[in-house]
Amino acid sequence: MGELRELYQEVILDHSKRPRNFGEPAGANRSAEGYNPLCGDRETVFVRLEDDVLEDVGFRGAGCAISTASASMMTDAVKGRTRAEAEALFERFHRLITGQDGEKERSASELGKLAVFSGVREFPVRIKCATLPWHTLKAALAGVDRTVSTELTEGPKAESGGG
Amino acid sequence: MSTVLPARDRSEGRHLPLDVEALRRDFPILARKVHGRQLVYLDNAATTQKPESVIEAVADMYRRSYGNIHRGVHQLSVEATDAYEQAREKVRAFVNAASTREIVFVRGTTEGINLVAQTFGRQRVHEGDEVVITALEHHSNIVPWQLLCDEKKANLKILPIDRTGEVRVEELERLLTPRTRLVSVAHVSNALGTLVPVRRIVEIAHARGVPVAIDGAQAVPRIAVDVREIGCDFYTFSSHKMYGPTGVGVLYGREELLDAMPPYQGGGDMISSVTFEKTTWNVLPYKFEAGTPDIAGAIGLGAAVDYLTRIGIENVTAHEEGLLEYATRSLSALPGLTVIGTAREKIGVLSFTLAGIHPHDVGTVLDQEGIAIRTGHHCAQPVMEFFGIPATARASLALYNTREEIDALTEGLRKVQRMFR
C-alpha cells in the first residue's frame, strides 16, 4: 500500500480530478496528438510558441489519473519557459521516473512539483502514462504532424494480444 | 493426479458443483503470492494457468520421449509421433470432428484464422466479393480479413451488435448477398462475454450457400463445442486459453474444404514428393503443417483436453455460469460501476467501468492487492468505440475461481473507490 500511496500522491490525485490548463489556449500555433494504446488514451497538447518561448500551453483528452495529472502539471511547469528549457525538463523528468537519476539530482529542486512523480518508478508499466503528455509536447514543438504513440517511444508493446 | 472428480449425473441432466478447492491444488501457480498477497487470478480470457498434469506432460515429453515426428525410424521418433497423433485424436474427440484429417495443429487461433484467410480466402474471394464479420470481433478476426479484402478489392461487411452486446442476427439475412463468400464470427466475445448464437448464424448462412468460420478461443475452455452439431465449416481455438501450453492451437476444417484449399506454408512434412519440376502435397492434415510443429505443445494440449474431459466441460460451464452471476450481482452493487456487455447469454467475462476512475488505475490498485485483471481495449477497439469508452476493466473466469476471489475483487474495487474519491 505504501508504494501505491507513493504513486497516487494527493497532488497527483488533485491534478487528475481538476486538471489545470485544460483546453486549447487562444492563439495556439503548435499542437500534437499523443496516443497510449495501453490505456486507449488520447491527449492533445497545444502550445502558443512565440520567439522560442512557450507563452501558453494547454491540453485536451481523457486519460488515466497518471497521464492526466502529468499533462496538467507539465503544462504548469513548462509555461513561460524556452523550448530548450522545456526539453531539458523532460530529460530530467524522464530520468526521475525511470529511476535513472543520481542521488544528487533526486534531492535537487529543479523538478519542483514534478518530483511527486518519483513513485512511478516502482510501476514500470505506468511510465508510459506519465510520459505521454511530454512526448506529445515534444512532437508539438517539433511540428510533427502525426499521432505520437507511447509504443514507439517507450519500448516494447505492453498490450498487443492475449484476448 | 490429485484431482477430486465431481460426480457427473448425465441421466438427470444435473451437474454437481466442482470441488474447486481440490481442483485448485492441481494448479501450482495459484499458491503463489503477488505483492505479498494471495494471488487472485481473474485474467483467464487473456490466458489460463496450467495444471500439473499439463506441465508434466510437456516436461515428460522432453525427459523421456523426445524426437522429431513423422521422420525417423528410430524409437524416439516413433514415440513422439505416437504421442503427437494421440493428442490430435484427443482434440478431435473433444470437439467431435468426424476425422483427425480435419484437425490441423497451428500456433493459435490467430494463425488458424490467417490460414483460412490466406488459403480458402485467397482462392475464393475476388474483386467485389464480400466477407461478413460481426461488430464484437477480436482484432484477430478483423485484421486477416482486412488484409484479404484489401488485396482482392473485396468488401468487409459488419453484422452489428446492440447496446447489450448481442449480435443482431436478424440483420444477417439482409447482409448476405450472392457475392458473400464467407461469414466469420466469434463464438464468445472476449471483451463482452456474449455467447453468440453460432448455430443460428450457420443455418442462415448455409441456407444461402455461404460457409462459416468460427473463432472459438473463448468458447472451448468454457462450453461443450461440437463442430458437427454447430455445422460450421471452420472452427479455431488456442491451447493456452484452455489450460494447455502456449504456442499451439487448432484449426478444424471440413475435410472437403481443406482438401480443395492450397497449402498455407511450404516446407517439410507438408509434401508427399518434391522434385524441382513438381511437388505434390501431403494428405490432410499434414498438408497444412509445414515444418517441425510444436510437438511438446500439442502433447500438452492433449493433456489439457484430458484434464477438461475428466472434470467434464459441462461442469465447468455450470461453475462459471454460477460464478459470473455471483460476480455480476456483487459488482453491480458498487456505486458507479457499469457492466459493459449485458447480453442474455453470457459466459466467463465481466467487463466494467467505474465512474470517474480510469480502468488502468483500477488495474494498478488491484494488482497491489494480488488481484490480476485485464484493463484496456482487449484487442477489440471497435467494441470500445461502439460503447463510447476508451477501455474497460475485465475480470474473466476459469474453473479454479471461487466466490471468495470475487469477494476479494469487490473489496479491492471498494478500495479503489476510496482511493480516488
CA–CA min distance A138, chain B (Å): 24
Q: pLDDT class for A79, splitting at 50, 70, 90?
A: very high
Is residue A157 a part of any domain in this protein? no
Residues of A in contact with B110 (CB under 8 A): 161
C-beta separation of A45 from A137 below 8 A: yes
Task: Tell me the sheet residues that pair with B284.
Answer: none
Complex ipTM, two decimals?
0.85
Question: What SS3 state is found at B51?
Answer: coil
Nearest beta carbon to residue A163 from set B46, B356, B365 = B46
Is residue A46 a part of any domain in this protein? yes
Where does chain B hold its CATH 3.90.1150.10 domain(s)? 8-49+312-415
Residue A65: closest CA among A20, A7, A112: A7
Residues of B in contact with A63 (CB under 8 A): 358
**What's the pLDDT score for residue A99?**
86
Q: Which residues have C-beta within 8 Å of that of residue A80, sequence separation ≥ 6?
A: A53, A54, A55
Is residue A63 a part of any domain in this protein? yes
**What's the pLDDT score for residue A151?**
63
B104: alpha, beta or left? (left if phi > 0; alpha if psi -120 to 50): beta
Task: Tell me the sheet residues that pair with B43.
Answer: B396
Is residue A94 a part of any domain in this protein? yes
Q: Which residues have C-beta within 8 Å of that of residue B285, sequence separation ≥ 6?
A: B88, B100, B101, B102, B103, B104, B105, B258
Residue A73 DSSP one-character state:
H
CA–CA min distance A83, chain B (Å): 31
What is the extent of the structural domain holding A87? 2-148
3-class DSSP string for B172-229: HHHHCCCCEEEEEEECECCCCCEECCHHHHHHHHHHCCCCEEEECCCCCCCCCCCHHH
Q: pLDDT class for A106, splitting at 50, 70, 90?
A: low
The structural domain count of chain A equals 1
Q: What is the CATH number of the domain that holds A50?
A: 3.90.1010.10
Q: How many A-B residue pairs are in contact by the CB < 8 A criterion?
A: 72
**What's the pLDDT score for residue B327?**
98
Query: Rounded to whole angstroms, what are the CA distances from A72 to A75, A113, A140, B146?
Result: 5, 11, 16, 39
Side chain identity, residue B240: H
**In which residue ranges of chain B is pLDDT below 70?**
1-15
B89: cell is 485424436
pLDDT digits 0-9 by tens, A113-134: 999 999 999 999 899 999 999 9
Residues of B in contact with A38 (CB under 8 A): 360, 376
Report pTM.
Answer: 0.92
Is residue A156 a part of any domain in this protein? no
Residues of B in contact with A8 (CB under 8 A): 361, 365, 419-420
Between chains, do A4 and B368 touch, taking CB under 8 Å as contact? yes
Q: Which residues have C-beta within 8 Å of that of residue B373, sequence separation ≥ 6?
A: B42, B43, B362, B363, B366, B393, B394, B395, B396, B409
In the CATH hierarchy, which fold is given to the domain comprising B8-49+312-415?
A: Aspartate Aminotransferase, domain 1 (3.90.1150)
Nearest beta carbon to residue B358 from set A64, A125, A159 = A64
Q: Looking at the complex, does the CB of residue B287 fall below 8 Å from at least one CB of chain A?
A: no
Q: Looking at the complex, does the CB of residue B391 fall below 8 Å from at least one CB of chain A?
A: yes
**What's the pLDDT score for residue A145?**
58
Rounded to whole angstroms, how far apart are CA atoms A84 and A52?
8
Rounded to whole angstroms, how far apart are CA atoms B383 and B54?
34
Q: Looking at the complex, does the CB of residue A97 fall below 8 Å from at least one CB of chain B?
A: no
Residues 339..368 of B with a Cβ closer than 8 Å to A: which? Answer: 356-361, 364-365, 368
**What's the pLDDT score for residue B2?**
46
Where does chain B hold its CATH 3.40.640.10 domain(s)? 56-309
| B64: phi then psi, degrees, rounded to nearest 5 | -125, -30
Residue B288 DSSP one-character state:
G
Residues 41..70 of A with a Cβ closer than 8 Å to B: which? Answer: 41-42, 62-66
Question: What SS3 state is found at B58?
Answer: helix
Residues of B in contact with A162 (CB under 8 A): 46-47, 374, 379
Rounded to whole angstroms, how far apart are CA atoms B421 and B339?
20
Rounded to whole angstroms, how far apart are CA atoms B129 and A70?
48
Residues 3..42 of A with a Cβ closer than 8 Å to B: which? Answer: 3-4, 7-8, 13, 17, 37-42
Find the closest chain A residue to B374 by CA distance.
A163
**What's the pLDDT score for residue B322?**
97
Q: Which CATH class is domain B56-309?
A: alpha beta
CA–CA min distance A27, chain B (Å): 29
Nearest beta carbon to residue A40 from set B45, B140, B384 = B384
Query: Which residues of B are annotated as catalytic?
Result: 379
C-beta separation of B240 from B47 below 8 A: yes
**What's the pLDDT score for residue A158?**
40
Residue B5 DSSP one-character state:
P
